[in-house]
């Protein structure tokens, strides 16, 4: 079947079988390997993408559900100014990551950024709960998110003044 | 690439992992595995294979049919006998993954089943892979006099590494040589073994390691088997072949942490002065012997920890069962052994009505030096570590308060407050646990160019950016160059020498030391010679010297001390336990980057917290029961407790860098700390890990 959707801001049409999962479409057909495959069961979060601004495990979404949707993967999000703030916070905090969960973590933070102005620690934990990580102890990720919001507010205030 | 650029790549999803490699015309591999735990293969029926699909069994292997694991050799594909459920028997490959799976499921294998052994306690004598015994004084004679003792049998379960990136390899055979991409911590193990496997010279095998997620040393030996499988299929099909394990395959067929059964006894006089320690440790090795000697050595050392007394008796053995092999897992051996030891020291302190801090300080034996060649600094910070962790956690006040208000013999308090407990643990960690041998040829190379840019060539794998950061900081300090001028060469066996296995503490101490020495050599040469200056160093520290090697319990050349406090609160009705905080103090020597070091410790502590509280891997008739992430629960961001980390930077015996080591060493104190805290809060002894809410409830209700 032919499906048309918006991918990272560009209208995209593909020919695919209706059951094919979005993760395979991204990785195998479109060569977007930033979305990782850790379990294919919706459990690990490595395949997170934003669909219509909602954080979704792409390993659970069949092609036939994609028509007309607005999909943002890490490749698209990394071009935005919100991404720059997230990267700045990671670099400032000197977080070490193997990188496998990193796109999912970044998109989870992106989702939080668009939904909240000053999240509590509980909200930060909830926002990142869809992404497992086995190499980092999470506490530094919480600090990164706090830093992201600090940067965001600093930028907002700078604009105002 | 600078460290900042590496992190930026990872965040942008630009890091390339093995599954991201897809050469043109690539086909997929599939592994047909044993369905029984023990028996003989009588016949194999393979369905008719469509064009483009082929199969391979042990007869197709052109060269050596086994690979080494620092223990015994393991077959790449079972020949006649199978020893565990999941053992690879046959390989298939073809262009369509789903069709391949369908064909794989149609393979029918007839077996003559034999009686399997599932418990090391019921295994016959011939199943013992390795045994160590030690005796000093007369432990049994102690009880002739009045004394106090605590004896318990502790069990720890199998633990899964659960690397988020599943095991994966891609091989490309071009009729002359082979290129292998693999998710591994030990690229030269693949290179050397695949060369023997294909019967080609080592020069014809090139291993490239893309980015890797391999927490806790989980990808040390098994990737060699997978790389050999893809190489054989590529060799036969003349096409690039990829094998990516499914999550189920990854959990059910990869090597695990050794489960253990430990009977541990401590005897003191009535004042709590330590008189004797007895330990009987049995490890379940699973079907093959992977690195048994190293596991046993660490367990034996940790069974006594820092308590060295006149009457000590120990027996440790590693036993074969018909389950998935146990393999390397950071803290292997010591994590189990210290759990038993430190739970018992807490109990005996309570029994003699002393607080555990006083008991430990009274009985820590700095005479441990007697067991080893003198090494200044090895034991000196043990007291500082325990003092500091007690101070920052407010242990003494809390311990006293919780003792004062608890109702004797039950989970409740006289004040009606929610019962709480606090545990204190002191652990020595063995650093550089892959001891270099006299025959080793592990090296690394440093090259300083005209522009004073330094290239470090090593086959060690960097999972975060910590190795790069650590090595760069050592080099920049000695050679006085900016960190951004230090480049770590990509891991490709054509460009980097064999530096041996990537184990966190080995990387930190042995390899860090080697970088330091190489930089010193470059510095000397720089005055006399033109650029480029290249120095290759043999990794030969710490060598387990021959005299010490025979000594049981052996004492490792390098130790890092860990002091840990864990505080819990238990709901007296539901028995739901909340961890109120974990405090960890370590003396890794000079800390190169405080932030990175702290993150390592937090991750290791969290793994130990998972081991203590939730990570259950059960076997039903030899088969792993939890086969996906929803069944095998690991700590996530919602369950991570507050972890407070401090470093004591004791520089004794150390010139500049490296420290005694941190790397991604295990934190072993959380599990015994948690169980000790529960013991105080509930007046109940828990002896099995993981100690889940269900098991606490069951134990409390059955009391
Ligand atoms: S791959 Fe989709 S959640 Fe794990
Ligand atoms: S899984 Fe490796 S950093 Fe998160």
* Cross-chain Cβ contact B465/A34 below 8 Å: no
Whether chain A has a CB inside 8 Å of the CB on B401: the answer is: no
**What digits encode the pLDDT tens for the residues A93-112?**
988 889 999 999 999 999 99
Domains of chain A: 2-73 (3.10.20.30), 81-160 (1.10.150.120)
Set of chain B residues whose Cβ sits within 8 Å of the Cβ of A100:
15, 17, 164-165, 211, 213
- Which of B7, B628, B640 faces A90 most closely, judged by CB atoms? B7
Helix (H) or strand (E) holding B317: strand B311-320
- Write out residues in chain B with pLDDT < 50, as ranges: 369-377, 436-438, 541, 543, 545-550, 658, 660, 663-664
Question: For B560-599, what is the HEC assignment?
Answer: EEEEEEEEEEECCCCCCEEEEEEEEEECCCCCCCHHHHHH
- Which of B11, B161, B605 faces A87 most closely, judged by CB atoms? B11
Name the B residues in 247-306 with CB < 8 Å from any A CB. Answer: 247
Mutate: best of B164, B168, B242, B252, partner A, most A CBs <10 A: B164
* Cross-chain Cβ contact B602/A132 below 8 Å: no
Set of chain A residues whose Cβ sits within 8 Å of the Cβ of B7:
90-91, 95-97
Name the A residues in 53-72 with CB < 8 Å from any B CB. Answer: none
Chain B residue closest to A45 (CA)?
B164
Chain A residue closest to B610 (CA)?
A134
CA–CA separation, B214 and B162 (whole Å): 8
pLDDT of B50 reads: 96
Out of A21, A22, A33, A40, mutate this one to test ligand 1's pocket (max ligand atoms within 8 Å of CB): namely A40
* Cross-chain Cβ contact A129/B17 below 8 Å: no
Name the B residues in 17-46 with CB < 8 Å from any A CB. Answer: 17, 19-20, 22
What is the side-by-side strand order in the sheet with B81-82? B81-82, B39-45, B108-113
Q: If you take atom 1 of ligand 2, which residue's CA is the nearest one?
A: A133
Longest dimension (CA), chain A: 53
Handedness of CA B116, B118, B122, B124 (dihedral sign): positive
- Residue B101 token pair: 């799976």
* Cross-chain Cβ contact A44/B629 below 8 Å: yes
CA–CA separation, B414 and B470 (whole Å): 52
Residue ranges with strand state E in B196-273: 205-208, 241-244, 260-268
* Cross-chain Cβ contact B211/A100 below 8 Å: yes
How many CB atoms are located within 10 Å of the residue B54 CB? 16
Whether chain A has a CB inside 8 Å of the CB on B353: the answer is: no
- Any residues with CB less than 8 A from the CB of B140 and at least 6 apart, and which? B313
Q: What is the DSSP string of B434-491?
A: S-B-TT---EEEEEE-TT--EEEE-----SSSHHHHHHHHHHHHHHT--GGGEEEPP-
Name the B residues in 125-164 with CB < 8 Å from any A CB. Answer: 161-164
Whether chain A has a CB inside 8 Å of the CB on B579: the answer is: no
**Residue B414 near residue B435, CB atoms below 8 Å:** no
A-B contacts (CB, under 8 Å): 167
pLDDT of B434 reads: 52
Mutate: best of A17, A26, A100, partner B, most B CBs <10 A: A100
Q: Is B480 exposed, middle or buried (0-12, 13-18, 19+ CB in 10 A)?
A: exposed
**What digits encode the pLDDT tens for the residues B649-694?**
765 555 555 454 554 467 899 999 999 999 999 999 999 999 998 8
Indicate which ligand has the atom closest to the C-alpha of A137.
Answer: 2
Query: How far out from the chain centre does Cα A54 lie?
Result: 9
Q: Is B396 exposed, middle or buried (0-12, 13-18, 19+ CB in 10 A)?
A: middle
Indicate which ligand has the atom closest to the C-alpha of B183.
Answer: 2
* Cross-chain Cβ contact A33/B20 below 8 Å: yes
- Any residues with CB less than 8 A from the CB of A160 and at least 6 apart, and which? none
DSSP label at residue B543 = B
Indicate which ligand has the atom closest to the C-alpha of B637.
Answer: 2
Atom of ligand 2 nearest to the CA of A96: 3
**Residue B264 near residue B303, CB atoms below 8 Å:** yes
Residue B513 Ramachandran class (φ > 0 left, ψ -120 to 50 alpha, else beta): alpha
* Cross-chain Cβ contact B164/A34 below 8 Å: no
* Cross-chain Cβ contact B629/A132 below 8 Å: yes
Whether chain B has a CB inside 8 Å of the CB on A46: the answer is: yes
Domains of chain B: 3-116+161-253 (3.30.365.10), 260-433+548-702 (3.30.365.10), 443-538 (3.30.365.10)
Indicate which ligand has the atom closest to the C-alpha of B212.
Answer: 2
* Cross-chain Cβ contact B603/A38 below 8 Å: no
Give B382 or A31, the one with higher predicted confidence.
A31
Out of A26, A27, A59, A133, mutate this one to test ligand 1's pocket (max ligand atoms within 8 Å of CB): namely A59
B169 CA from centroid of ligand 1 (Å): 20
* Cross-chain Cβ contact B15/A100 below 8 Å: yes
- Which of B12, B466, B630 faces A34 most closely, judged by CB atoms? B12
pLDDT of B307 reads: 86
Whether chain A has a CB inside 8 Å of the CB on B242: the answer is: no
CA–CA separation, B648 and B381 (whole Å): 8
- Which of A28, A99, A139 faces B10 most closely, judged by CB atoms? A99
* Cross-chain Cβ contact B637/A138 below 8 Å: yes
A136 CA from centroid of ligand 2 (Å): 6
* Cross-chain Cβ contact B605/A137 below 8 Å: yes
CA–CA separation, A42 and A49 (whole Å): 12
- Which of A36, A44, A129 faces B638 most closely, judged by CB atoms? A129
**Residue B194 near residue B227, CB atoms below 8 Å:** yes
pLDDT of B549 reads: 46
How many residues belong to chain B?
A: 703
Complex ipTM: 0.97
């Amino acid at each position: 079947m032919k499906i048309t959707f918006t991918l990272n801001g560009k209208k995209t049409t593909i020919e695919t079988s209706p059951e094919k999962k979005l993760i395979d479409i991204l990785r195998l057909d479109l060569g977007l390997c930033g979305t990782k495959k850790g379990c294919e069961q919706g459990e690990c979060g490595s395949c997170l993408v934003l669909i219509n601004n909602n954080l979704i495990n792409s390993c659970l979404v069949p092609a036939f559900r994609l028509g007309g949707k607005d999909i943002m993967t890490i490749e698209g999000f990394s071009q935005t100014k919100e991404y720059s703030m997230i990267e700045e916070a990671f670099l400032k905090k000197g977080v070490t990551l193997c990188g496998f969960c990193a796109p999912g973590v970044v998109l989870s933070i992106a989702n939080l950024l668009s939904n909240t102005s000053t999240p509590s620690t509980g909200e930060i934990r909830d926002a990142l709960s869809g992404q497992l990580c086995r190499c980092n102890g999470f506490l530094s990720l919480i600090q990164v998110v706090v830093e992201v919001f600090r940067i965001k507010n600093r930028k907002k205030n700078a604009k105002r003044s | 690439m600078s460290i900042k650029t590496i992190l930026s790549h990872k965040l942008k999803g630009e890091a390339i992992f093995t599954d991201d490699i897809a050469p043109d015309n690539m086909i997929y591999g599939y592994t047909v595995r044993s369905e029984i735990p023990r028996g003989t293969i009588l016949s194999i029926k393979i369905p008719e294979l469509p064009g483009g699909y082929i199969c391979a069994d042990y007869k197709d292997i052109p060269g050596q049919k086994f690979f080494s694991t620092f223990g015994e050799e393991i077959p790449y594909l079972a020949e006649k006998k199978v020893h565990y459920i999941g053992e690879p028997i046959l390989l298939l490959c073809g262009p369509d993954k789903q069709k391949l799976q369908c064909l794989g499921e149609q393979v029918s294998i007839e077996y003559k089943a034999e009686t399997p052994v599932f418990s090391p306690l019921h295994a016959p004598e011939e199943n013992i892979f390795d045994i160590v015994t030690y005796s000093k004084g007369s432990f049994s004679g102690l009880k002739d006099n009045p004394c106090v003792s605590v004896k318990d049998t502790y069990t720890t379960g199998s633990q899964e590494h659960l690397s988020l990136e599943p095991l994966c390899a891609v091989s490309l055979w071009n009729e002359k040589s082979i290129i292998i991409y693999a998710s591994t911590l030990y690229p030269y193990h693949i290179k050397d073994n695949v060369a023997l496997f294909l019967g080609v010279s080592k020069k014809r095998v090139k291993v490239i390691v893309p980015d890797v997620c391999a927490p806790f040393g989980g990808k040390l030996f098994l990737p060699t088997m997978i790389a050999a499988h893809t190489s054989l299929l590529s060799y036969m099909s003349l096409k690039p072949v990829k094998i990516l394990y499914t999550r189920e395959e990854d959990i059910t067929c990869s090597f695990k942490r050794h489960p253990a059964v430990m009977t541990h006894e401590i005897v003191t006089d009535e004042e709590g002065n330590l008189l004797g320690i007895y330990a009987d440790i049995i490890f379940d090795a699973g079907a093959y012997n992977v690195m048994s000697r190293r596991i046993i050595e660490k367990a034996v050392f940790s069974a006594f920890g820092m308590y060295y007394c006149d009457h000590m008796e120990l027996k440790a053995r590693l036993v074969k069962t018909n389950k998935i092999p146990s393999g390397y897992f950071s803290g292997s051996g010591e994590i189990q052994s210290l759990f038993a030891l430190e739970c018992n020291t807490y109990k005996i302190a309570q029994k003699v009505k002393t607080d555990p801090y006083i008991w430990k300080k009274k009985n820590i034996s700095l005479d441990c030096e007697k067991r080893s060649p003198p090494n200044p600094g090895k034991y000196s910070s043990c007291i500082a570590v325990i003092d500091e962790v007690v101070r920052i956690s407010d242990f003494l006040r809390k311990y006293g308060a919780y003792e004062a208000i608890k109702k004797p013999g039950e989970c409740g308090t006289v004040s009606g407050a929610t019962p709480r407990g606090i545990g204190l643990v002191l652990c020595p960690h063995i650093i550089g646990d892959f001891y270099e041998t006299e025959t080793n040829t592990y090296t690394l190379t440093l090259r300083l160019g005209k522009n004073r840019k330094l290239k470090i060539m090593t086959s060690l794998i960097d999972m975060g950016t910590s190795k790069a950061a650590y090595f760069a900081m050592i080099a920049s300090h000695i050679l006085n160059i900016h960190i951004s001028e230090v480049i770590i060469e990509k891991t490709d066996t054509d460009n980097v020498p064999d530096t041996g296995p990537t184990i966190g503490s080995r990387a930190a101490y042995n390899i860090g030391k080697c970088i330091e020495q190489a930089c010193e050599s470059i510095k000397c040469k720089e005055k006399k010679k033109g650029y480029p200056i290249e120095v290759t160093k043999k990794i030969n520290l710490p060598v387990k010297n021959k005299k010490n090697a025979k000594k049981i319990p052996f004492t490792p050349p390098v130790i890092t001390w860990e002091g840990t406090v864990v505080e819990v609160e238990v709901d007296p009705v539901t028995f739901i336990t909340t961890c109120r905080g974990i405090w960890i103090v370590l003396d890794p020597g000079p800390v190169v980057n405080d932030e990175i070091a702290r993150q390592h410790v937090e991750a290791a502590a969290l793994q130990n917290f998972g081991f203590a509280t939730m990570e259950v891997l059960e076997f039903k008739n030899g088969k792993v029961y939890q086969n996906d992430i929803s069944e095998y629960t690991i700590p996530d961001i919602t369950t991570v407790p507050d972890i407070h980390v401090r470093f004591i930077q004791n520089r004794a015996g150390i010139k500049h860098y490296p420290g005694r080591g941190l790397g991604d060493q295990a934190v072993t104190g959380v599990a015994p700390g948690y169980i000790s805290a529960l013991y105080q809060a509930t007046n109940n002894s828990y002896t099995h890990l993981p100690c889940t809410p269900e098991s606490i409830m069951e134990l409390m209700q059955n009391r």
